[in-house]
Amino acid sequence: MFQTLTEKLEAVFKKLRGQGKITEENVAESLREVRRVLLDADVNLHVAREFIDKVQKRAVGREVLASITPGQQIIKIIHDELVSLLGVSKTDIVEAHEPPTVVLVVGLQGSGKTTFSAKLARFLKGRGRNPLLVAADVYRPAAVDQLVTLGKQLDLPVYSEAGEDAVGIAARSVDFARRHVRDTVIIDTAGRMHVDDAMMNEIAEIKAKTRPHEILFVADAMTGQDAVNTARAFHDRLDFDGVVLTKMDGDSRGGAALSIRAVVHKPIKFIGVGEKLDALEAFHPDRIASRILGMGDIVGLVEKAQEKIDQEKAQRLGEKLRSAQFTLTDFLDQLREVRNMGPLDQVLGMIPGMNRIPAGAQVNEGALTRTEAIIQSMTIEERKRPSIINGSRRKRIAAGSGTTVQEVNRLLKQFEDMQKMMKKLSKGGLKRAMSRL
Amino acid sequence: MIGTLFNRMTASLTKTRDSLIGGIRRMVSARGTISADALEDIEYALLAADVGTGTTKRLLENITKRIAADRYESIDEFMELFKDEVARVLRSTASSVDEKGKVGIANAPRPYIILVVGVNGSGKTTTIGKLAYRYKSEGLSVLLGAADTFRAGANEQLERWARRAGAEMVRQERGADPGSVAFDAVQSARSRGVDVVLIDTAGRLHTSVNLMEELRKIRRVISKVMPDAPHEVLLVLDAATGQNGLQQARQFSEAAGVTGVVLTKLDGTAKGGIVLAVGHELGIPVRYVGVGEDPEDLQPFVPQTFVDALFAQT
């Protein structure tokens, strides 16, 4: 159902191979496909257009013509270009020569400013700083309560006042921090529409009064074409220093990252990946580039795997895979390794193509437990040579594992398919199959 | 009444129309014929409004077919045809708006249970506040169920709205089981003879299997008290949402049986074109649009009015 961009481009170029020559026109056809992928990922139209022009200039001629697999070559060019456009990973928050350092958090309604402010406070606290949270959102009902609750959770002070004087609250909070020896002030402001002049004047005034050392613009990763308008408007008014992309734990492709970068040229400093206060991560351009192209977060997956998987075991497994001697025991081992890596939906989300699988269709942990039980109810011999598992053995395994014969059958069938695939791969196809990822 | 409503809709949608249709009109009248270039520009306008590549392609294919068959004489006529194409997508999704522009529940069962769902920050609680205000102003009694037991300050936020609208409220402490809050809300609405129950839920990303499961449970619990409830499940969508909105609509429908969309934050520069894709792909109608922070800034979405406003002469 879901085709990766690489596959689609390969299909385009397959047609070309029959025709013999790759022309500029042909490259254009593949780039139309790229454009569609970018638009589906919510990259702004203008940004996508400029980006493709750039890629086209680099692609036509030399690289593409010389390449044996032009589709992959183009992907590489696109990916590299995306990464360079997205900037570098940078999570430092400046420290003022004369404390307190003032950080101003701004953005549209519902982008996630309050949650981010708390996450940032936690992050800085972990680095030995003493943050003060400031509740300057005086408009949304109970916004102050929300920040106070989060502050309590973090065991950090929260500065708030009754009344609607956001500018005054922000200004006084800096004095408060000075008196109470807090070295960093994080001001959480009200969400505002970029077209609301009164509110934009207010935030400009807060900036003027508090002279922040760092202004962070918080944007929802699910934003569509409008991302450029809001980012530009906030930037024109405040000249912010960095961007925070929130709700990246969803399945949006995050094209807004590219759009915002392209119009304001400020680093994307953090991404929010969950509701818990520790769900804050550094921004990795290469991973977002893969995500925008619908290629999955391979780098993240590999990192996570390296962190959790027993290297020696992995190597042995690799050998078995190559020699097609993969048994049910290995399957069980592998299953356990995967479970060690964390919640399955998170792991699966990083695999190319899997990020599009609807939530309902996701493998559930329960099914894994049952699979484990079935394999554990087999004898060593059966695990080595599943072909000996006849009807009565199936009945015994089902009874032993508390499952049904149908489930045992399904597992055996799956395993058989897997073995077939492995055999195919081991016949010299492994490298090709892997590179297709 | 209808006049003012129409005017408000027209005014609030001017921005949408200007950018979406204004561009098309200018370019069409300048050229006089619908060339491939012109179609490309229409495509551009639709894509810029977050309509998405799939729905845009479909709309363009349809209009190309219709032009080939029907032929048009003037630019105005072409615009009528195109307008009709867009309207068709919205009309295909039946709406329960009555002739007075109200989302009528006059003949609906009581209490009328509305469950409100959506991703974080889309504007669920604010929408509920505005809805409570709207139903109260129609003379109905309203009870709010604070089933967002997760977010800090959610109870307090809803409470402010309840006070503002003069609605009752059922809540439990933070961290309580949201299903249990929903149960209490429906139960007490029944015993107190309340007309409308609005149940707020915590924002959740549609990719979170566990939280979507929780939503299923809330739904089940509600229907245990009242077998035909919830009578309406509203998905709150931020107008700035990109293509992910379609996936949101799909997943929330799957888990909670969404019956209508509320399109919020239409007072910015975002166009909300994703509702065309949602209507086209999933057949879910838009019920209301949010065009500001005030209680009366939630207006019933009338497809015809929407399209008329979209294409109205400036």
Domain ranges of chain A: 3-86, 101-295, 310-436
How deeply is A380 buried, as exposed, middle or buried, from its count of CB atoms within 10 A (0-12, 13-18, 19+)?
Answer: exposed
Beta strand spans in A79-222 (E):
101-107, 131-136, 158-159, 184-189, 214-220
Question: Could you read off the pLDDT of B217-235 as tens digits, one per residue?
Answer: 999 999 999 999 899 999 9
Within B97-212, strands assigned E span: 112-117, 142-147, 168-170, 196-201
What residues in B contact A147, CB-CB < 8 Å?
A: 152-153
A190 neighbourhood in chain B, CB within 8 Å: none
Q: What is the pLDDT of residues B176-206, one digit of tens each?
A: 999 999 999 999 999 999 999 999 999 999 9
> Structurally, what CATH architecture does the domain formed by A101-295 represent?
3-Layer(aba) Sandwich (3.40)
Residue A216 β-bridge partners: A105, A242
CA distance A239 to A232: 9
pLDDT at A434 (0 to 100) = 45
**pLDDT, mean of residues B82-96:** 70
Rounded-to-integer distance, Cα B248 and Cα B261, Å: 11
Mean pLDDT of B271-276: 88
What stretches of A249-403 show up as alpha helix (H) in DSSP? 255-264, 285-292, 298-308, 311-323, 328-340, 344-349, 365-376, 380-384, 391-401
Chain A stretch 231-290, residues whose beta carbon is closer than 8 A to a beta carbon of chain B = 247, 249-253, 255-256, 275
Rounded mean pLDDT of B292-302? 86
Question: DSSP letters of B238-266?
Answer: ETTB-THHHHHHHHHHHHH---EEEEE-T
Residue A40 sits at the chain B interface (C-beta within 8 Å): yes
- Both tokens of A64, joined, read 């593409």
Query: Model's pTM, two decimal places?
Result: 0.77
Neighbours of A398 (CB within 10 A): 18
Residue B313: pLDDT band (50, 70, 90) is very low
A247 and B52 within 8 Å at the Cβ level: the answer is: no
Burial class of residue B193, CB neighbours in 10 A (0-12, 13-18, 19+): exposed
Across the interface, do A39 and B47 touch by the CB < 8 Å criterion? yes
Cβ-defined contact of B119 to A250 (cutoff 8 Å): yes
**Residue B220 to residue B230: CA distance in whole angstroms:** 9
Asked if residues B286 and B275 have their Cβ atoms less than 8 Å apart, the reply is yes
CB B296 within 8 A of CB B41: no
First to last CA, chain B: 22
Looking at residue B312, its pLDDT comes to: 45
Cα B207–Cα B209–Cα B213 angle in degrees, nearest 5: 125
- Contact criterion met (CB < 8 Å) for B50 and A226: yes
State residue B233's pLDDT score.
96
- Please report the pLDDT score of residue A88 as a whole number: 79
What is the per-residue pLDDT for A123? 95
pLDDT of residue A432: 47
Average the pLDDT over B2-7 and give the result: 52
Q: How confident is the model at residue B28 (pLDDT cuts 50, 70, 90)?
A: low
Q: Is the dihedral of CA B14, B17, B19, B24 positive or negative?
A: negative
Closest CA of chain B from A280, distance in Å:
16
Q: What is the mean pLDDT of chain B?
A: 83
Residues in chain A within 8 Å Cβ distance of B173:
none
Lookup result for tokens 């409004």: B49
* CB nearest to A36's CB, from B53, B205, B212: B53
Cβ pair B158, B198 in contact under 8 A: no
Query: Is residue A108 a contact partner of residue A247, using CB atoms and an 8 Å limit?
Result: no
Give B-chain residues touching A111 at CB under 8 angstroms.
121
Residue B31: pLDDT band with limits 50, 70, 90: very low
What is the Cα gyration radius of chain B? 21
Residue A60 is predicted with a pLDDT of 67
Burial A422-432 (b: 16+ CB within 10 A, else e): beebeeeeeee
Q: Provide the ipTM.
A: 0.84
Amino acid A368: pLDDT: 76
For A90-99, B26-35, B244-253, which range has the lowest pLDDT when averaged over its residues?
Answer: B26-35
Residue B50 Cα, gap to closest chain A Cα (Å) = 6
Of A10-14, B65-69, B222-226, B300-304, least confident by mean pLDDT is A10-14
Length of chain B: 314
What residues of chain B lie within 8 A of the CB of A252, using their CB?
Answer: 242-244, 247
pLDDT along chain A (437 residues), means of 10: 54 56 66 86 92 81 50 74 84 84 96 96 94 94 90 96 93 96 96 94 97 96 94 96 93 90 92 92 86 65 55 63 70 71 54 42 66 89 88 92 90 80 57 44
Contact A146 B153 (CB under 8 A): yes
CA distance B51 to B58: 11
Q: Which of B43, B120, B164 to mutate to test the interface with A (most CBs of A within 10 A)?
A: B120
Query: Is A3-86 in CATH node 1.20.120.140?
Result: yes
Mean pLDDT of B42-48: 84
Decide if domain A310-436 falls under CATH 1.10.10.10.
no
